[in-house]
């Protein structure tokens, strides 16, 4: 069962904000929203995660709706190096908690 739904692909212009949506309508109260990305041939890279409040770090911002059924990852100033597959994952905290990568969304940043 897919816990998250993401568009297959999107693109944006270099320097502009990239807004990547994710639906997780069946999320449980103790599940976090995680975002990872994978640049071709590299290991998955952790970006950000949150429970219900919006979060920001040096890479991105995570906006979670009040009902927690969807979220948006925002890359404020996309660069060509941000071209990658982005994965939205929901999971409970805990080292034994499964991390399940779906198909993700392919973001292409164009010059």
Partner 1 sequence: DAGITQSPRHKVTETGTPVTLRCHQTENHRYMYWYRQDPGHGLRLIHYSYGVKDTDKGEVSDGYSVSRSKTEDFLLTLESATSSQTSVYFCAISIGSTDTQYFGPGTRLTVL
Question: Residue numbers of the site for partner 1 (CB under 8 A)?
Answer: 32, 34, 41-46, 49, 93-103
Q: What residues form DSSP beta bridges with 73? A: 20, 62
Question: Residue 32 Cβ, how far from partner 1 at the closest point, in Å?
Answer: 6
Question: Which of 44, 49, 63 has its CA nearest to residue 91?
Answer: 49
Q: How far is CA 32 from CA 15, 91, 98, 99, in A?
A: 29, 5, 12, 11
In DSSP terms, 4 is beta-bridged to none
Closer to partner 1 by Cβ: residue 17 or 93: 93
| Residue closer to partner 1, measured from CB, 46 or 77 | 46
- Report in angstroms how near the CB of residue 49 gets to partner 1 at its nearest: 6
Minimum CB separation of residue 45 from partner 1 in Å reads 7
Please identify, using beta-carbon distances, which residue of 13 and 99 lies nearer to partner 1: 99
Alpha carbon distance 92, 21 (integer Å): 20
Closest approach, Cβ 25 to partner 1, in A, equals 21
Pick between residue 45 and residue 54 the one whose CB is nearest to partner 1: 45
Total Cβ atoms within 10 A of residue 80: 10
């Amino acid at each position: 069962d897919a816990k998250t739904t993401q568009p297959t692909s999107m693109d944006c212009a270099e320097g502009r904000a990239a807004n990547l949506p994710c639906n997780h309508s069946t999320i449980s109260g103790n599940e976090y929203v995680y975002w990872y990305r994978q640049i071709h041939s590299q290991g998955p890279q952790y970006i950000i995660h949150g429970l219900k409040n919006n979060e920001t770090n040096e890479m991105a911002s995570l906006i979670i709706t009040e009902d927690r059924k969807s979220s948006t990852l925002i890359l404020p100033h996309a660069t060509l190096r941000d071209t990658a597959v982005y994965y939205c994952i929901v999971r409970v905290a805990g080292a034994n908690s499964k991390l399940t990568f779906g198909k993700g969304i392919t973001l292409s940043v164009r010059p």
